[in-house]
A and B are shown apart, each in its own frame.
Chain A
Amino acid sequence: MINIKNAWERVQLARDPARAYTLDYISMVFDEFLELHGDRYFGDDGAVIGGIALLDDTYVTVIGHQKGRNIRQNIKRNFGMASPEGYRKGLRLMKQAEKFGRPIVCFIDTPGAFCGIEAEERGQGEAIANILYEMSDIKVPILSIIIGEGGSGGALAFGVANEVWMLENSIYSILSPEGFASILWKDSTRASEAAEIMKITAQDLLESGIVDKTISESESSETGDYSDVGNQLKIGIRDFIKKYKNISADKITEERYERFRKM
């Protein structure tokens, strides 16, 4: 990977609506997909997709943030900003995957968890805390792939995985660069400067061990056709499934614990 783009340029690319979203990758990578809905408490969050997919002869559970490309879609998708019921749906499907021994693949693409009155009333903090807590002990392998924006606790909520991968032009951060500049410098216009300092690019995070692998976008970001990324993911997910096929549940959870214990 030739690192020619600066961090702020990558922020723009990570947010570009021309990028492939979770549902696009699901159709590129998997042979079949059956979406499952609802958190069984309150509702079905359109900002989170979940269901069972088939890759070759292996069934996997897939969970991911879903953004919309226009206003109409974003009324449903809430710009990929999940509400508590989105995280609760995600956790429900993870538990289901654990019960039936399916590996889990998460696609992360969110500006952050939704921040609004209803989200607070329904326990946004508790919903995220609980998924972090439970995910750490899920007995099947978990792979999380950051495909666009990995914003804050809302991204980490699907990121307590055995392996975390990032697309070349995706970002993973504690807060948006605008928010970061606003809090620390009281000046949100210094976002591009913040982006450089924050170490949010795939390359930076690979070097610091926050992520395990980066996926090249050199072909896709030029042409706008993300099928090359889709292909790489398909091959990578196949290898991931194979790698964990004969590894015991204890080892899977131990390895995940150690991964985050070091940080």
Chain B
Amino acid sequence: MLQGMFKKTLKAKSNEKVKDSIQKSQIPNGLFKKCPSCDQIVYAEDIISNYYSCPNCDNYFRIGAKTRINMVADKGSFKEWDNNLETKDPLSFPGYQKKLANFKSATHIDEAIITGECLIREQAVAIGVMESEFLMGSMGSIVGEKITRLIEKATELKLPVVIFCCSGGARMQEGIFSLMQMAKTSQALKRHSEEGNLYISILTDPTTGGVTASFAMLGDVILAEPGALIGFAGPRVIEQTIKQKLPKDFQTSEFLLEHGFIDRIVKRNQMRKTISFLIRSSK
């Protein structure tokens, strides 16, 4: 049951390994897990009860979208929207359809985001949660469409929008059509904002590329989980470009807080409380 739920997080890996860690689950199935950050053997149940973080060193494990929704939404309140959109293949990119089909049948996850509505401490919100397992959480046309519909419907219903970002960036296999999703989602947020609605963006590990350069950075309030990788260009690309090693905390949540680009770093056990406070204060 726990297989595939856990990932190494930033503390445990050097920046250049980000991509590898997204692709492979690090922890074998079983009752006990080895924390990739502190190397301690810990009881799996303790990880779960500790908001999917290591009880020994607080290292955060990556979590799937459904787990995340269960963690923040009032019990049983989540209703999914737009879960039936077929992924497009506008470039007829070799192998893309097959890759999607294999992934979908293996995981029963149908795209890199789940959207819908739920209650958070009895407040109604439109919520989107990205799924890092699905092609690195990349934003293709359907991810862009689901986010845009989420925001447009929230504008219509006068609901706050909460998006948990988690993405390697734009989806290469859909080419320029992926790029256009940056404009499409951003303009929907502009309209949502013009109507006086609240948007909370929450950055989780990793948030990079075209997602960072669009809806991730447009929150009225931008929160981040501790130790998340957040940036526009990926660390490996920057290192190759400038031919030097990057500083240790570069592109972490803490780095962004220090440089003035996020409002707060919020631990998982405080997330519900924080979102609820922000919604109550922004009506």
Residues in B with CB closer than 8 Å to A175 are: 172
Within 8 A of A (CB), among B227-268: 231-233, 237-238, 241-242, 246-247, 250-251, 259-261
| Shortest Cβ gap from B11 to chain A (Å) | 19
Residues in A with CB closer than 8 Å to B190 are: 133-134, 136-137
Residues in A with CB closer than 8 Å to B90 are: 199, 208
By beta carbon, the residue of chain A nearest B187 is A136
Q: A160-B183, A199-B91 are in contact. Are A129 and B213 (CB under 8 A)?
A: yes
Q: A174-B178, A261-B148 are in contact. Are A153 and B213 (CB under 8 A)?
A: yes
Q: Which of B37-45, B111-119, B215-223 contacts A (4 or more CB under 8 A)?
A: B215-223
Separation of A151 and B42 alpha carbons in the complex (Å): 46
B182–A132 CB distance below 8 A = yes
Which of B172, B177, B179, B246 is the one whose CB lies under 8 Å from A153? B179
8 contacts between A and B (CB under 8 A): A113-B233, A119-B233, A129-B218, A132-B183, A132-B214, A159-B183, A263-B181, A263-B184
A43 within 8 A of B: no
Separation of A261 and B217 alpha carbons in the complex (Å): 20
Residues in A with CB closer than 8 Å to B175 are: 173-174, 197-200
Residues of A within 8 A of B (CB): 113, 115-117, 119-126, 128-130, 132-134, 136-137, 152-153, 156, 159-160, 172-175, 180, 183-184, 197-200, 205, 208, 210, 256-257, 260-261, 263
By beta carbon, the residue of chain A nearest B242 is A116
B259–A121 CB distance below 8 A = yes
Highest count of chain A CB atoms <10 Å: which of B182, B247, B251? B182
B172–A152 CB distance below 8 A = no
Residues in A with CB closer than 8 Å to B179 are: 152-153, 156, 173-174
B231–A136 CB distance below 8 A = no
A133–B231 CB distance below 8 A = no
A263–B232 CB distance below 8 A = no
Residues in A with CB closer than 8 Å to B186 are: 129, 132-133, 136, 160
Which of A129, A134, A205, A260 is the one whose CB lies under 8 Å from B212? A129
By beta carbon, the residue of chain B nearest A211 is B176
Which of B93, B180, B246 is the one whose CB lies under 8 Å from A260? B180
| Shortest Cβ gap from A76 to chain B (Å) | 19
A interface, over-half SS:
helix
B122 within 8 A of A: no
Residues in A with CB closer than 8 Å to B184 are: 260-261, 263
In the complex, given contacts A124-B213, A130-B218, A197-B94, what are 18 additional A-B residue pairs having Cβ atoms less than 8 angstroms apart? A116-B241, A117-B246, A125-B232, A128-B182, A130-B217, A132-B182, A133-B186, A133-B189, A136-B187, A152-B179, A183-B172, A198-B176, A199-B90, A205-B176, A210-B180, A260-B184, A263-B141, A263-B177
Interface bits B98-128 vs A (CB < 8 Å: 1, else 0): 0000000000000000000000000000000
A174–B232 CB distance below 8 A = no
Separation of A133 and B217 alpha carbons in the complex (Å): 10
A260–B214 CB distance below 8 A = no
B210–A153 CB distance below 8 A = yes
Interface bits B180-203 vs A (CB < 8 Å: 1, else 0): 111110111111001000000000
A125–B231 CB distance below 8 A = yes
Separation of A183 and B209 alpha carbons in the complex (Å): 13
